[in-house]
């Protein structure tokens, strides 16, 4: 039923046709499912893997945005909760037409006893 909507294969691509090549592709590209993200990556309109533009608008679809961790092009180094909230806030600002906030150059805080204290 979905065949009319299917395009050509994007990943792993035509060059991955043997079991060995598929195994190598999985080893190189597989990620943890503990922090699911990146299924709807953000990027430029000319990026074949991008689903949404930098304003969270679905490329090629009017009046639809995605504002969750699925738009992350790469998994973050920590929990997805904070970055996901930030994406929702930023998408809301885009929808409401609010200008970007000024840059904040605050340095991250690192516990001086980070090696021995609870994190």
Residues annotated as catalytic (active site), given as ranges: 35
What pLDDT does residue 73 have? 83
What pLDDT does residue 119 have? 58
* DSSP secondary structure letters along the chain: --GGG-----SS-TT--SHHHHHHHHHHH---SSS---TT-B--TT-TT--B-TTSBBTT-TT-B--SGGG-SS--SS-SHHHHHHHHHHHHHHHHTPPPPPP--PPPP--TTTTTS--
What pLDDT does residue 33 have? 66
pTM here is 0.60
What pLDDT does residue 14 have? 85
pLDDT (tens, 9 = 90+) of the chain, 119 residues, equals: 888 888 888 889 888 999 999 999 989 888 766 677 888 999 998 999 899 999 999 999 999 999 999 999 888 878 899 999 999 999 999 999 999 989 999 999 988 988 888 75
């Amino acid at each position: 039923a979905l065949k009319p909507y299917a395009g050509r294969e994007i990943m792993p691509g035509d060059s991955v046709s043997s079991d060995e090549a598929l195994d190598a592709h999985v080893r190189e590209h597989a990620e943890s499912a503990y922090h699911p993200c990146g299924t709807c990556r953000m990027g430029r309109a000319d990026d074949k893997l991008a689903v949404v533009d930098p304003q969270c608008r679905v490329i090629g679809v009017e009046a639809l945005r995605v504002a969750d961790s699925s738009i992350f092009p790469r998994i973050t180094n920590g929990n997805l909760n904070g970055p996901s909230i930030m994406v929702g806030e930023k998408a809301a600002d885009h929808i409401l037409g609010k200008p970007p906030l000024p840059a904040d150059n605050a340095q991250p805080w690192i516990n001086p006893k980070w090696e021995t204290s609870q994190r």
